[in-house]
Amino acid sequence: MTTNKLQALILSVALATTASAKTKQPGATSTQPDWFQTSPNSYAGTTATGSAPFLAETNPAPFGQSTFIPNAPLETSEPIEGAHGRNIFQLMGDQSPYFSPAEGFGVDEYPLPKGAQITQMHMLQRHGSRYPSSSEGLDSWAAGIVNASNQFTGKLNFLNDWSYKLGKEILVPKGRQELFDSGILNYYNYGHLYDNSSKLVIRTTLQSRMLESAENFLAGFFGLEWRNHANILATIDSATTGEYACTKAGETMEASVATPVGTWMATYLKERTAELKKLTGNYDWTITDTYHAQSLCPYETISVGYSDFCDIFTYEDWEGYEYLMDIEFAAISGFLSPTGRAQGLYWVEEFLARVEGHILNVPANTTGANITLDTNPVTFPLNQSLYLEFTHDANIVSVLTAFGFTQFADFLPLTGPPKNQQFSASRLVPFAGRFNIEIIKSPHKVSPTRSSKSSAKDYISGTGETHYVHFIQNQRTVPLHDSFGACGKRDDGWCELSTFLKVQKESLAKAEYQYACFGNWTMKDYGAVRNGVPA
Ligand SMILES: *[C@@H]1O[C@H](CO)[C@@H](O)[C@H](O)[C@H]1NC(C)=O
Ligand SMILES: *[C@@H]1O[C@H](CO)[C@@H](O)[C@H](O)[C@H]1NC(C)=O
Ligand SMILES: *[C@@H]1O[C@H](CO)[C@@H](O)[C@H](O)[C@H]1NC(C)=O
Ligand SMILES: *[C@@H]1O[C@H](CO)[C@@H](O)[C@H](O)[C@H]1NC(C)=O
Ligand SMILES: *[C@@H]1O[C@H](CO)[C@@H](O)[C@H](O)[C@H]1NC(C)=O
Ligand SMILES: *[C@@H]1O[C@H](CO)[C@@H](O)[C@H](O)[C@H]1NC(C)=O
């Protein structure tokens, strides 16, 4: 506590200094660089735009169905064999357009008891729907298909006059919408926490889709005049996102997924590949072709509104696709990755610092956090009630891992999904996926048994003010007791703040950051690691 007080004192001195520096904005000053400048931008990355959609002309709906479902804006009502009304667009892993999982994460939702208040909200939000990454190789695959046209038959007949219309990396219109919607949703939920006497500092990176995600969110949250209310601190993506700061994570990424993903792909797509191969003439159609065709369903749908690739596949094929994504993310930055905890540790430590009200006080190079930024109150403010940050899918998974959400640590066998699987890429990190952490101040302890009818009985009489953490992933509560026994089982899944902080103090040591990121260890076979640190 005394160190916190000391830091608060240093902070107040620093605040006074920076306040005068900031009056000289917008230009840079000699003491403070212009942290919030986002243009011109030399770090936007690849920014290829795709063809303009023409869904009014290309949409085959209503597919002979008697009920007409208008596109909203995507056309996703095509009949899928075996779906029985279930939605394949929620089985696309990180390529699923945003959705809130209807089944939740194991607990029900409850209103705040009367008199309790939300005092802070910390959000980590993924960018919205985007064109394929350059590394996915869909454009070169498409060139081969176009070269081979006039040989496709049956349900691949459409390939004879198909062309590739997608751009690369940047947000598609649906992605803009997802972030704008999230801004509006978060404003309704938390707008009251914004103190309009100063601008919020929000964090993202300069990569095009990241910056535009933040901007669209802010336009939703504040309206088009958002620049009057928020400053964007945008760092260089490749230098600042967890998986890149951690050398070993980058080095082992390929090795961590190649075998498990390849194995599962060959398994679940075997039958479909044999079927499609008969429809491709002289073109030597392989498992990889089937997989690329399947990926084009989500990508074409979000990019041009509809895709002929979707209904080539059955509902079961889409369950296989989802499981492939689950394996991929668990192995890249989840508990099945030797660097899973290390990659996300910086955010856990930043969260602890903000909640405790001090600048980051961990030694340099022990968490992946940028000490220059995180010890400067201009770039690491502590006086906000809202902390908004934008990031990537793998990064959100790694932060959940670094927190120690072992409820998502299930082992994923390469023979097929385990019973009662909890780790799901689509439910955790769909496009525009996010978590919101609420800090709640309650006049009394809240009973672990919550009544769905009356909130009058929610308090435990004779108890004093108590603070809680409520963790929400894609609008559903993640029960903290499932992973952190010390929280004690609660209907509402909350945890007392003091308990949660105590548990999280152990995250730093558990991540073994220096060893995991820079140590001399070798990559073991898939499955050797189950706890997010090197075996
Ligand atoms: C185009 O097809 C021919 C055979 O029809 C093949 O030899 C050639 O490699 C193909 N080119 C590409 C880019 O796939
Ligand atoms: C800030 O909020 C106060 C109280 O709600 C209001 O009177 C004031 O006009 C607001 N200022 C701005 C700049 O929005
Ligand atoms: C927070 O501190 C910054 C200085 O770093 C100052 O500009 C801003 O007005 C403060 N905001 C609030 C809400 O007090
Ligand atoms: C962190 O430490 C490792 C060695 O342990 C070193 O290779 C790396 O350059 C350091 N990174 C920074 C940003 O200082
Ligand atoms: C921290 O961020 C600053 C400002 O963006 C940058 O200049 C510096 O290189 C970063 N440091 C590390 C270790 O990444
Ligand atoms: C790393 O470990 C391997 C095998 O354990 C060893 O052969 C090698 O010399 C080590 N490298 C360094 C730089 O310590």
- Nearest CA to 479 among 465, 500, 501, 504? 500
What's the one-letter identity of residue 264?
W
Q: From ligand 6's centre to the CA of 521, what distance in Å?
A: 8
Do 386 and 439 touch, CB atoms closer than 8 A? no
Helix (H) or strand (E) holding 232: strand 230-235
Whole-structure pTM value? 0.93
List the domain boundaries for the chain: 117-129+173-243+333-518
Paired sense of beta strands 200-205 and 466-473, if any: unpaired
Closest residue by Cα to atom 5, ligand 1, is 148
* Index of the ligand 3 atom closest to the CA of residue 14: 5
- Please give the number of the atom of ligand 3 that sits closest to the Cα of 195: 13
177 lines ligand 5 (CB under 6 A): no
Distance CA 442, CA 433 (A): 28
Q: Give residue 520 CA to ligand 6 midpoint distance, Å.
A: 6
User: Is 493 a pocket residue for ligand 3 (Cβ < 6 Å)?
Assistant: no
Whole-number CA gyration radius for the chain: 24
**b/e map of 466-498 (b: 16 or more CB within 10 Å)?**
bbbbbbbbbbbbbbbbbbbeebeebbbbbbbbe
Chain mean position to CA 160: 37
Instruction: Report the first-to-last Cα separation within the chain, whole angstroms.
Output: 35
Question: Could you say which DSSP state residue 316 is in?
Answer: H
Question: Where do we find the tokens 């919607």?
Answer: 181
Q: Check residue 454 and give its pLDDT.
A: 65
What are the beta bridge partners of residue 118? 440
Which of 35, 372, 378, 513, when mutated, tests ligand 5's pocket best, judged by the most ligand atoms within 8 Å of its CB? 372
pLDDT value, residue 24 = 36
Residue numbers in the chain where pLDDT is lower than 50: 1-29
Residue 14 to residue 33: CA distance in whole angstroms: 15
Question: What is the per-residue pLDDT across 84-138, written as a single tens digit (0 to 9) for each?
Answer: 999 999 999 999 999 999 999 999 999 999 999 999 999 999 999 999 998 899 9
> Partners of 232 in the beta sheet?
202
Which fold does the domain 117-129+173-243+333-518 belong to in CATH? Rossmann fold (3.40.50)
Alpha-carbon distance of 399 to 433, in angstroms, equals 13
Confidence (pLDDT) at 423: 98
Ligand nearest to the CA of 248: 4
Task: List the residue whose alpha carbon is closest to atom 3 of ligand 4.
Answer: 518
Task: Supply the pLDDT for residue 426.
Answer: 98
Ligand 1: nearest atom to the Cα of 282: 5
Tell whether ligand 5 has an atom less than 6 A from the beta carbon of residue 364: no
Position 23 scores a pLDDT of 36
Q: In whole angstroms, what is the distance from residue 190 CA to residue 122 CA?
A: 10
Tell the residue nearest (CA) to atom 13 of ligand 4: 365
Residue given tokens 């299930």 in the structure block? 410
